[in-house]
């Protein structure tokens, strides 16, 4: 395919994927199955990899998150993002309406919108292109979070509107995403987010956009800061036009002729809010006519033409009958309050997470107590406080166990962690999930050993530890459902092949706290053998670049456990490789030592992945985009815009031949 053909194909795929994305994330009416979307996205990714100069900022591939930022730049809002005054009852609403009528000569009408509990942001489009996204900040100065906002799939990267348009809205985390995120944080021994708003704000203020991309955020747009060339006369017209442009607005807004209609709307959503898949904490009421908004103006802090009605928090009383302990995938022990079932915010609640021992102590929660509960963020049941005057006389302070309730191993509390943790790798309560992680793609990468097969093997008691995977035999496997000759042969061959994996895969597969795949590779390259790592001291670990206090502590603690020592001995006896076989650790005096390198274009002798490994093995750090901090651009054929930018910034540019020469020089060194 030549460049012209590629450009036409890329344009066609981009248009299709943008439409599919809008149908799925904005209209909630997908026209194609996920598999078709994924197939076309992969096709586009492959074309853009071959022709990187054809990648555009609004391509559907540009949502996955780029390189981590050093910090957020400040952004001045041309039109201030002001907060709203509050109303807490019908009297406040009537007073707001009266002030509106007194401030203008014409009859007034209202628009009511759900008050999304998230993070207020602004989006700026110039001639149809999304160019900047920012937080509200103090209303005048916010932070540039464009990279993170680009990862929200309901935000269009291009719209059919010329000139400058700046729209405002609320970025939020849907309930499902919030629950999934907190489950992961609790499993890792981390403090869960208190509510979806904190989770959304924390996600969008991550310096690494890839983190925001994984959090599955969404947005509803509700207002305008600037709109060049707009002749619209009402807020309701703006909402309709924004929706036409593909800017996602909340569909539940309503135009009301009287304040009584506004109150009816509020009462309706006070009852219906538990059925939404996102959190709201009130209703925003605005005077609809834009001329009247301008006529009414602002106080020092708030617009006079809008107000936020805040829902009262719902709290109920029930009895705490027991405290149940759960062992998570990573061994974290989570106490859960067992309650007499009670209805809260529209659903019946019988359990509430107590998170950790510190929370139980702080609230002095005891079995048999009468407690006040609510749903944190209207989602997660939470014990607010104890009703002490109703406490039975015979209650006792609750103490967490010293041993794991599932396996009896001694529990530990790692430094700076609030959670107790079982670090026995053979604990049955966490073993099953640990095995699924062990065989996963970034770990031992054993084809054919997916989650369903692991669960089947576990239920049939054919595996209990990681070592048992390497003791499976053909006859046992053939007895299982859906296991024929061919699948068994392929599975056993994949298991055998995994024995040759480099050390970093095994290290990551063990599931050591804080050790991700990147850290595992750094550690494996530094210590080279499992034996060296087992014998490494805290001081030796902390001396490795990118290994922090928590990681070093976690490694030392992990390898001190007898169960871990026994597991590794068993894996050695089963002939698993325990040495690092990847690129050797970069020398400090390597060709690319302390250099930031960007690789672009097509090369004859290397794939881009191989070139990246070679540069890193010679001390370089490879990033994806050219900036003033780039030291060297290695450019293959059709280098495109990165080449042009490097020339403009005065960055040193190498061709493929120079990279080959650097490899030859390195290979000749003693």
Q: What is the set of active-site residues? A: 115
Closest C-alpha among 154, 167, 283, 302 to residue 222: 167
DSSP state of 67: S
Q: Are 512 and 567 in contact (CB under 8 A)?
A: no
DSSP state of 70: S
What are the CA-CA distances from residue 301 to residues 27, 86, 297, 480 (Å)?
Answer: 35, 12, 11, 69
**What's the chain's Rg over C-alpha atoms?**
29
What are the CA-CA distances from residue 349 to residues 196, 202, 279, 387 (Å)?
Answer: 19, 28, 18, 18
Three-state DSSP class for residue 481: coil
Q: Tell me the C-alpha distance between 12 and 16, whole Å.
A: 6
Phi, psi of 506 (to 5 degrees): -65, -45
Three-state DSSP class for residue 90: helix
Q: How far apart are the first and last CA of the chain?
A: 45
Tokens 């901090």 locate to 629
Residues 6+ apart with CB under 8 A from 298: 82, 304
377: exposed, middle or buried (Cβ count in 10 Å: 0-12, 13-18, 19+): buried
Q: Which is it for the CA torsion 197, 202, 203, 209, positive or negative?
A: positive
Q: Tell me the C-alpha distance between 501 and 489, whole Å.
A: 19
Closest C-alpha among 176, 244, 308, 272 to residue 27: 244
551: exposed, middle or buried (Cβ count in 10 Å: 0-12, 13-18, 19+): buried
Q: Are 87 and 252 in contact (CB under 8 A)?
A: no
Q: Tell me the C-alpha distance between 301 and 139, whole Å.
A: 10
> What is the per-residue DSSP string for 575-622?
T---B--SSPPPPTTSTTTT-EEEEESB-SS--HHHHHHHHHHTT-EE
Q: Are 111 and 265 in contact (CB under 8 A)?
A: no
Q: Tell me the C-alpha distance between 558 and 562, whole Å.
A: 9
């Amino acid at each position: 395919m030549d460049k012209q053909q590629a450009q036409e194909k890329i344009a066609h795929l981009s248009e299709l994927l943008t439409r599919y994305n809008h149908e799925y994330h904005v209209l909630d009416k997908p026209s194609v199955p996920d598999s078709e979307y994924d197939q076309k996205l992969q096709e586009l990714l492959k074309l853009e990899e071959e022709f990187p100069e054809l990648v555009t900022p609004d391509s559907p591939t540009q949502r996955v998150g780029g390189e981590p930022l050093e910090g957020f730049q400040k952004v001045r809002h041309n039109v201030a993002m002001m907060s709203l005054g509050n109303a807490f009852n019908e009297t406040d609403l009537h007073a707001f309406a009266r002030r509106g009528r007194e401030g203008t000569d014409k009859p007034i009408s209202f628009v009511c919108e759900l008050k999304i509990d998230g993070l207020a942001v602004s989006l700026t489009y110039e001639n149809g292109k999304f160019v900047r996204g920012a937080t509200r900040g103090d209303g005048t100065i916010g932070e540039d979070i464009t990279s993170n906002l680009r990862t929200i799939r309901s935000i269009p990267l291009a719209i059919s509107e010329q000139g400058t348009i700046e729209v405002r809205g609320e970025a939020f985390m849907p309930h499902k995403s919030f629950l999934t995120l907190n489950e992961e944080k609790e499993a890792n021994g981390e403090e869960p987010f208190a509510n979806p708003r904190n989770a959304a704000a924390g996600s969008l203020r991550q310096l690494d956009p890839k983190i925001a991309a994984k959090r599955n955020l969404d947005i509803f747009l509700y207002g305008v800061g600037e709109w060049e060339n707009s002749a619209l006369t009402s807020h309701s017209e703006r909402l309709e036009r924004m929706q036409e442009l593909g800017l996602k607005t909340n569909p539940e807004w309503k135009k009301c002729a009287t304040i009584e209609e506004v109150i009816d709307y509020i009462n309706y959503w006070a009852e219906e809010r538990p059925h939404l898949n996102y959190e709201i904490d009130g209703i925003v009421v605005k005077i609809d006519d834009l001329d009247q908004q301008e006529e009414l103006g602002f106080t020092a802090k708030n617009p006079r033409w809008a107000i936020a009605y805040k829902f009262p928090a719902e709290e109920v009383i029930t009895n705490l009958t027991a405290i149940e302990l759960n062992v998570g995938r990573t061994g974290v022990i989570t106490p859960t309050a067992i309650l007499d079932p009670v209805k809260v915010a529209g659903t019946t609640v019988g359990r509430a997470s107590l998170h950790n021992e510190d929370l139980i102590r702080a609230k002095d929660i005891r079995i048999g107590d009468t407690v006040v509960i609510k749903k944190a963020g209207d989602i997660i049941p939470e014990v607010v406080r104890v009703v002490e005057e109703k406490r039975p006389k015979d209650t006792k302070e609750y103490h967490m166990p010293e041993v794991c309730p599932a396996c009896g191993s001694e529990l530990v509390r790692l430094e700076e962690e609030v959670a107790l943790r079982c670090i026995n790798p053979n604990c049955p309560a966490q073993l099953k999930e640990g095995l699924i992680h062990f065989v996963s793609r970034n770990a031992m990468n054993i084809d054919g050993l997916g989650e369903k097969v692991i669960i089947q093997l576990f239920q049939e008691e054919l595996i209990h530890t990681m070592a048992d995977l390497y003791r499976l035999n053909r006859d046992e496997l053939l007895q299982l459902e859906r296991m024929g000759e061919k699948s068994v042969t392929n599975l056993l061959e994949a298991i055998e092949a995994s024995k040759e994996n480099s050390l970093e895969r095994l290290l990551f597969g063990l599931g050591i706290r804080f050790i991700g795949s990147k850290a595992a590779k750094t550690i494996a390259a530094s210590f080279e053998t499992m034996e060296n790592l087992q014998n490494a001291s805290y001081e030796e670990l902390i001396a490795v670049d990118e290994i922090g206090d928590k990681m070093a502590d976690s490694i030392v603690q992990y390898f001190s456990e007898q169960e871990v020592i026994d597991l590794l001995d068993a894996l050695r006896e089963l002939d698993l490789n325990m040495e690092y076989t990847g690129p050797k650790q970069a020398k400090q005096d390597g060709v690319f030592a302390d250099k930031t390198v960007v690789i672009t274009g097509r090369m004859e002798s290397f794939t881009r992945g191989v070139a990246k490994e070679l540069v890193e093995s010679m001390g370089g750090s490879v990033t994806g985009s050219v900036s003033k901090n780039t030291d060297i651009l290695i450019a293959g054929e059709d280098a495109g815009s990165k080449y042009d930018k490097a020339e403009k910034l005065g960055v040193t540019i190498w061709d493929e031949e120079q990279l080959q020469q650097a490899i030859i020089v390195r290979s000749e060194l003693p």
